[in-house]
């Protein structure tokens, strides 16, 4: 991948802050005319650097009062069991993210639910029954200090 110049960096940062702005607004922000700005954005999209555009939703306003983290240790690590686990965890709508880890646990799942009772049912009835799960440890977010946000670009 080629290094980003300062204009590409400015475009990427500006789009992360506000992907709904018009091409004219973006071009002005990065000191380009609209056509070259549009070409650069299209190039960043085609190269896969920009993967998509998304709306950021409020968990609170959607009724999700609990954010929890589920640390999983797997019984075995065969490709078949791992693939089945990953397929099923991706299908759970309450799962916000899932990471394969190094260290004591094999996976870390971030999940949301409306309340503690619902979160408990999710862990007991769905997560515990996922393929290959051996051990589960949960923890809960008391306060979100920094949400997933803007990735650093070029620095």
Give the domain ranges of the chain.
6-46, 66-140
Element (H, E) at 135: strand 133-140
* DSSP-derived 3-state class of residue 147: coil
The arrangement of secondary structure in 6-46, i.e. its CATH architecture, is Orthogonal Bundle (1.10)
- Write the class of the CATH domain 66-140: alpha beta
pLDDT at position 150 is 84
Cite the beta strand spans of 45-104 per DSSP E: 66-74, 95-100
pLDDT in tens, 93-105: 999 999 999 999 9
pLDDT at residue 3 is higher than 80 = no
pTM for the full predicted model: 0.87
The whole-number pLDDT of residue 130 equals 97
Distances, alpha carbon 148 to alpha carbons 14, 23, 101, 107, 153, in Å: 16, 25, 18, 18, 15
More confident call, 148 vs 103: 103
Question: At CA 131, angle to CA 126 and CA 136, rounded to 5?
Answer: 60
> What is residue 148's predicted lDDT score, i.e. its pLDDT?
78
Average pLDDT, the chain: 95
Other beta carbons within 10 Å of 113: 19
62-82 mean pLDDT: 96
Determine contact, residues 66/130, Cβ cutoff 8 Å: no
């Amino acid at each position: 991948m080629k290094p980003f110049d300062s204009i590409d960096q400015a475009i990427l940062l500006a789009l992360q802050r506000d992907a709904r702005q018009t091409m004219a607004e973006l071009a002005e922000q990065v000191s380009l005319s609209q056509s070259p700005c549009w070409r650069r954005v299209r190039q960043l999209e085609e190269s896969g650097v920009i993967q998509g555009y998304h709306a950021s939703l409020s968990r609170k306003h959607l009724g999700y009062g609990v954010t929890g983290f589920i640390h999983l240790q797997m019984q075995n690590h065969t490709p078949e069991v791992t693939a089945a686990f990953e397929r099923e965890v991706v299908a759970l709508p309450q799962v916000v993210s899932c990471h394969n880890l190094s260290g004591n646990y094999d996976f870390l799942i971030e999940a949301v639910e409306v309340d503690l009772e619902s979160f408990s049912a999710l862990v007991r009835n769905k997560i515990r029954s996922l393929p290959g799960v051996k051990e589960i440890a949960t923890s809960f977010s008391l306060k979100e200090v920094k949400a997933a946000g803007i990735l650093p670009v070029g620095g």
